[in-house]
Every structure is written in C-alpha cells, then in structure tokens.
Structure 1
Amino acid sequence: MKKYGVFPTIFMLAAFMLLISPGLAASVEIPGEIFAVGSDELSWDATNWGTMYADLTNNKSWTERLYYENSAGENAEPLGIDNENTIDDGELIYSTSPYVKQYKAMSKCGVLVDEDGSYTLLPWLGQKYVAIDGDATTITKLLLEQGSDDVQTLGAGETWDLGAGYTLECKQVDVDGNKVWLALLKDGKDLDSEILNTDTGEDSDERIFIASADFAGQDDAVYFVTYADQVFQSATDGIVRLKYTWLIDKEEVQTIDTDYSIGVFECTRAEADEIFLKNENSISLNMNDITSLTDDLYFTTSDVDDA
C-alpha cells in the first residue's frame, strides 16, 4: 500500500462514491486511493479515484479534484497527528473547471452542430454536466452521449428511453427513399421532429436531427443531437441506425454561485472558468466510520492495523 507523508499515522482515509445506474439492482461503490494520513495535503483526482471524470484523449479535461489542505486553524496538526481527527472548516476543497469538447457528429463525420461544432463540458462531483454558453456557473446534466462505437437501432413505432422523461420515437421508415421520421418527446409530449435522409454524404446536415429551444437565458440553444447512420430493411421492418446521440436536460438547469451549497460544502468561488467548494463547518472523522460529504460522496476511516 502506498503511504504519503513522513509522520506517524493513526488511521487510514479513503474516499468513495456511491453510484446507482439504471438497470443495476444495487448501488456500486467506487473507491478512491487509500491514504495513511499524517500529511498536510491529501488529494484525489482522476488518476487515483475512478469517479473523477477525465477524457484520456483530451489533456484539458483533467480539471476535477478533491483535496485536504491543512491550515493553521483551531486544529493546526495534520490529520492523524496527536490524535487529530478533525478537518477544520475550509480545509477540504473541491475544484473543477470546464473545457471545450466537440460533438461526436462533428468530430467523427464533420457535421456542423451549433455555430462551431462544440460544447463545454464540466466535470461536476463525479458526473458530466454541460456549462451553458461555456459558463460553469450555469449547468445542466449531460443525460446521454453515445460513445464513438455505440449504435441504437429503431424500427417504425419503436421508442428509445433517453432518460429524465425524454424519449425518441421512430415514426416512419422509408427504406426505398433511405429516409426516417423521428420525433423527440418529453413526458409523452412532442418537443420536435425531423425527417432524415441517409442517401447523402456522411457530412450532410440532412442526416442530423438537432433540437434547440430557448432556455437558461439562451436563444435557440441546442439540447439534443442524433445522427442517422443507415436505413435498411430487416426481415420484417424498416430499421434506422442512430449514432452520436447527445442530450442535456433543458428543464433542470442549475445556477452555481456563492450562495450555493451541497452536503458539507459551500461555494467559495463561482466563475465562468472555475468553481471552488469548501467544507463550511469542521468535519470530525471517527474511527471505522463513514462520513458523508454529499448524498453520493463519502469518506471511510479505519485503523492502520485493520487496513
């Protein structure tokens, strides 16, 4: 086990995220690196905690970090020294910054989405959010982003559950004309629809369904994208293959400012290009116990002899 610091230690500290995904019968714990405390600094990011987001192909994405930084407060000794088990207020810090990422329909096929083919992603407490108009203080959850090799097939009359009440319905498939009629719905109500034509070049805008609306103070902002890769005839039905689908929740936009708080954290800095959270009150760590940080993030502690 890798240990940090040169001081004697009395307990081990580990960070966890509790993840509940659709289709899973139970929750899953994602552990971070375990530290033998006794150092002035402890840090978790995507290199040592799988819940912290980073895109391995984009070095600008490594922005999310949770760290403990000892200060000369009421309890001046680092954790683990002289029976010190308190994180003073402001010593536990979470930071993140947004970065620009291309829509896959743009990066893979050259189809222009929005003005420049990109959006701004914000790693946020272990999940992916989108910063509206590039501003990290106005965010909404990225509900779906198909991977580069992901494919969804739909026949006429079939629907695809996209999450958060959004569904995509295949209204009609014209195999002879290589066309498909798709409709986007929210809680069963029509939002938008489009007829796509796959009898065109792969970079044709006739292949792409883009839904936009006025929300979060933006006019005609994109919230849904999908790309018709192929229309074909199965044994019984006309089928469309969809790729590069992307969806954000335009109904649940959050504003992050210095009045914002979540779990033990309060926001101490909210700028378009960075967000900082710090623990508002002191946090006592008890041996062999769980300390909640948010609904999903928590610390566990254990005796060195038991770790």
Structure 2
Amino acid sequence: MALAVLVLFALVAVPASATEVSELEIRSSVQDATAANIATFTITADDFAAFWYDIDDGVSSEVLYYDNGAGASNPNGPLGLAAGGSNVIDEDELYYLSAPQQVDSEIGLAFADANGNDKIDPGETFVPEDADIATYYKIGLFGDEYVALDGDPSELAKLIIEFDSSDKKTLQTGEEWELGEGLSLVPMQIDLDGEKVWLQLKKNGVEIDSEVIDASSSATDLQRTYVYEDDDDRAIFYCYVDAVFRGTESNIVQLKYVFLRSDDVMELDTGDDYGVFEIKSFSYTVP
C-alpha cells in the first residue's frame, strides 16, 4: 500500500499493575502526503512528546529532519501519493540532530559570584574549588536527558539528581545518603561550635573524597559549597550546606542545591552507529 501519511512514534515502558498497561504509544504530529508530496519536514519536541523537553528551563534540543534532495544518491521521489511521489526515504535523506542547551544551575541562580554581586548574571561564574557550576549544558539523545560536559555533545553523562530551589535534605551525623550509581554521602561530624561539618563521599562503600565545610554565619556561599570534580575540573557532585545543628542528642546538617551526574561518561565519535543512524558530525546544521 502506498504511503499516505507519516507518523513518528515510540513505545515507552511504564510500571505495570492489574489496572495499568505496560506500554504507552507516543505519536508525533501527522505528515499528510495524501494530496501533495512532501519534500521536507521537521519534527521537534513540540511535535513529538517522546523527544526530550525540560519543562523547568523551557528548552529542548532534538530535531528529526527529512530532505528529499539531501542525499548524494536519491533515486526515489519525495514522500507522497501524487505524481512522482514514493514511500521510500533514501540513504542520507533523514537526519537526527541534537545540540547542547546551556542552562542556569539552581545554585548559580541563587548566590552571588566571587565579585559579590547579588545574583549571578549571564556570563558570570560561581567557582568553588576549580569547577564553574553557575551554568551547565543539557542535551536530549533519542528522548533521554544527558549533561553535555563543557557543552561537548561527544561527551555525555546521565543527570541523576538536580534539586529545585525549594528542595532540602536533612541528615544526622553518621547517616548515609544513597545518591545513586554506588555513590553515597555521609556527614561524619559537626564541630563543637556547631559551625563546621565534615562531609564524606563514598563509592561502593569506599571513601573517594571528604572535606570540612564552613557553615558559620560568616562563611561565604562559596565556602558553604562542597564540590567533587573529575580530573578535568568538571563537577560530578555538589551540595550547599544550608545549616548545621549540634544538640545534646543529635547533630543535624541541612543541604540544598544538590546536583549529581554520572561519572560514567558516554563518549561518541564520528562514524559511530546509534540505532539506524550513523554519526556524521558534531557541528552540523539543518540543510
């Protein structure tokens, strides 16, 4: 049967129960080629709910683009039932593109920069240790959300935790918080004055980093921020110590602006296959 309409769809698994279905079909907008052939079309997150869209930041990154004349060899005509039309997408006529989107971090929006400004403005930094965490880059890859390290789409890491501005986590000293991917955070001790906390970060139960964080009334926002970085000074985990309390029966620390991305980086390269697509370039634009 000849092609009349084109619909992009995806099957997404959802938790199953006695009253729930185990799959959900997500459809794109319809490309109707019944009356006239289609030489080009573009599908984005506005048309296809399976593509990644960050509702908080209002950004998306994925584009599916068809161009009948884009292929080096395109013996078949455009899609459709009219004269000269076909139901074949030739090689190099279908493109998938995704570009990193720079977003403000919650901690970057909240605090002053090193120059003492009231709030970080575009282009300014917030650099505890050596990692600038005022902004970072998100990207969608076939519907999944990733962090593009330093804005590089060839180095991607899963985003695991990203607190909103109102989120808080309260821990007692000695309590272990399982973060994900084998990482955990433990507030080991609070000093006698109730102004500093010793934080320990573990991977699969083994300490990989620790630091004493100053949370006194005179501490700056930078001093209150704990950051764990990779070898290239890119943040893997960070949190802000909002308050500490030393009592007779319990010692408590309260954390805000928690961020965690995977330390298992997915590296992509030109020529790699990803599903039915081959990576052609990391600097491509729609024809």
TM-score tier by shorter-chain length is 0.7 to 0.9
Structure 2 residue 264 is matched with structure 1 residue 265: no
Bigger Cα displacement from structure 2, 85-94 vs 258-267: 85-94
SS of 2:107's equivalent in the other structure is helix
Structure 2 residue 117 is matched with structure 1 residue 105: no
State how far apart, in whole Å, the 2-side matches of 1:55 and 1:96 are: 14
Structure 2 residue 152 is matched with structure 1 residue 135: yes
How far the C-alpha of 1:46 sits from its partner, in A, is: 2.5
The amino acid that maps onto 2:48 is W
How does the TM-score come out when normalised to structure 2? 0.73
Structure 2 residue 249 is matched with structure 1 residue 240: no
Aligned residue in 2 for 1:300: none
Note the alpha carbon deviations across 1:231-260, whole angstroms, 9 max, x for none. 34799633322221112222x223322221
State how far apart, in whole Å, the 2-side matches of 1:240 and 1:79 are: 63
* Kept after mapping to 1: 8 A contact 2:194/2:245: no
**CA shift in 2, pair 1:190/1:133, >3 Å:** same
Aligned residue in 1 for 2:76: 75
Partner of residue 66 from structure 1, selected from 57, 64, 76: 64
Note the alpha carbon deviations across 1:179-212, whole angstroms, 9 max, x for none. 3322112222211112223323685222111112
How far the C-alpha of 1:87 sits from its partner, in A, is: 2.8
**CA shift in 2, pair 1:240/1:66, >3 Å:** farther
The amino acid that maps onto 1:186 is K
**CA shift in 2, pair 1:175/1:49, >3 Å:** farther
Q: How many residues are treated as equivalent by the alignment?
A: 258
Aligned residue in 2 for 1:86: 88
* Kept after mapping to 1: 8 A contact 2:29/2:47: no
Aligned residue in 2 for 1:18: 12
The amino acid that maps onto 2:100 is P
* Kept after mapping to 1: 8 A contact 2:108/2:133: no
Structure 2 residue 183 is matched with structure 1 residue 166: yes
State how far apart, in whole Å, the 1-side matches of 2:285 and 2:246 are: 50
How far the C-alpha of 1:92 sits from its partner, in A, is: 2.4
Aligned residue in 1 for 2:122: none
The amino acid that maps onto 1:65 is V
The amino acid that maps onto 1:246 is F
Structure with the larger strand share: 1
State how far apart, in whole Å, the 1-side matches of 2:192 and 2:111 are: 22
How far the C-alpha of 1:86 sits from its partner, in A, is: 3.3
SS of 1:269's equivalent in the other structure is coil
The amino acid that maps onto 2:78 is E
**CA shift in 2, pair 1:26/1:164, >3 Å:** farther
SS of 1:258's equivalent in the other structure is coil
Aligned residue in 2 for 1:210: 227
State how far apart, in whole Å, the 1-side matches of 2:195 and 2:21 are: 42
The amino acid that maps onto 1:122 is I
State how far apart, in whole Å, the 1-side matches of 2:190 and 2:13 are: 38
The amino acid that maps onto 1:269 is S
Identity %: 29
Larger radius of gyration: 2
How does the TM-score come out when normalised to structure 1? 0.69
**CA shift in 2, pair 1:85/1:226, >3 Å:** same
* Kept after mapping to 1: 8 A contact 2:3/2:86: no
* Kept after mapping to 2: 8 A contact 1:18/1:29: yes
Bigger Cα displacement from structure 2, 44-53 vs 159-168: 44-53
Instruction: Could you tell me which runs of 5 or more consecutive residues in structure 1 were left unpaired when the two chains were aligned.
Output: 1-7, 277-307
Note the alpha carbon deviations across 1:54-76, whole angstroms, 9 max, x for none. 446757x4432123333472331
